[in-house]
Amino acid sequence: MINWDAHACLPQHPQADFTPVNQLHAAGVNYVSLNVGADMNPVSQVMSVIAGYRATIAADPGRYVLVSCVDDIIQAAADGRIAISFDLEGSMPLLDQPDMVALYAQLGVRQIHFAYNRNNSVADGCHDAPRGLTGLGYRMVEAVNEAGILMDCAHSGRLCSMDIMSASTKPVIFSHANPYSLVPHGRNVTDEQIRACADTGGVVCVSGLSWFLGSSHPNADDVARHVAYIAELVGPAHAGIGLDICFSQEGLDDTPPGDFDPAYWWPVSAGYSASKPPTFTPPGVWRHLAAALRNVGLSEAETEMVMGRNMMRVAQQVWSRPVNLKLLAA
């Protein structure tokens, strides 16, 4: 069985310690998508992070492998290594150039969504005025499909996500989002969005963040409850896991440079509070997820689908074009 975590965050710093990745691996995770930047991060920071992460991976080939296809993940699991690729949270690092998408694919980015909570020139964020996908956004969807990158709609506005799912010729995912019907937070997704995602052949991956799970100390049972809702609504073939654990590390400041305003990206009006930060499921929650999923009625085969096989299926369809990700050892 391959356990697939569709989204996790280390510090946005080239010297980030990969100990959390090792903890995920020890808990049973075979593949993780690591975020390397979002709309608030300038390209200079994003590229620095990618370079640093790639160097860390290259320096320990017995432990890590940067992957471009599902076969790489299967082989890494057989070798006892953890498979890694990168994701972008927003289109700002694309600099309004569709050609940038293929460049990021060459660097290891295998998943992207277009807007982080706020609107930009490409797409709408979930905490901003609805406009829909822009003309440039439609060209970006084509570029993502052409580059063989997973088209993600996490953090996207509802109307815009529907446009993206309609425009994409490949399955679309929500890499870390939960059912709005269970927890009415603007970052969660409606039944309409979940159904539209399933219609593309895609997967909604449940986040382990307290705000979106509706639990102050989230655990495997909380994650399983949200998975069960998705499975009941559209079938277990369209549910997955993207715990969105955000790891901070003492001594590393990854604050975006310039006039960064946290209240803009996480507005109080949307339910965020700097005085009450979110909590996350611990990496060890992976040891308990299978039992929790079976406790909510999923069979053993369905549990394996949710924990990895569904995302493997989608990635197999999308990552069809081989990408040269050769790493130079440090």
Average pLDDT for runs of 10 along the chain of length 330: 97 97 98 98 97 98 97 97 98 98 97 98 98 98 98 98 98 98 97 98 98 96 98 98 96 91 93 89 98 98 98 95 57
pTM to 2 decimal places = 0.96
Residue 208, both tokens = 């382990």
DSSP string over 245-264: EE---TT---PPSSS--HHH
Predicted pLDDT of residue 258? 86
Cα–Cα distance measured from residue 76 to residue 325, given in angstroms and rounded to the nearest whole number? 15
Among residues 51, 6, 50, 61, the alpha carbon closest in space to that of 31 is found at 6
Task: Look at residue 324 in the predicted model and tell me its pLDDT.
Answer: 64
Cα(92)–Cα(28) distance, integer angstroms: 34
Please report, for residues 73, 160, 179, 199, the alpha-carbon distance to residue 234 in angstroms, rounded to integers and kept in the order given.
Answer: 27, 21, 12, 9
The neighbour count for residue 191, using CB atoms within 10 Å, is 14
User: For 4-318, which CATH class?
Assistant: alpha beta
Rounded alpha-carbon distances, angstroms, from residue 134 to 137, 160, 207: 5, 9, 27
What confidence score (pLDDT) does residue 329 get? Answer: 46
- Quote the CA–CA distance of 99 and 7 in Å, as a whole number: 24
Give me 236's structure tokens: 């277990």
Instruction: To the nearest 10°, report the CA torsion of 210, 213, 214, 218.
Output: -50
pLDDT at 325: 63
d(C-alpha 162, C-alpha 281), whole Å? 29
- Tokens read off for 195: 């159904």
pLDDT recorded at residue 321: 60
Give the pLDDT confidence score for residue 142 in this predicted structure.
98
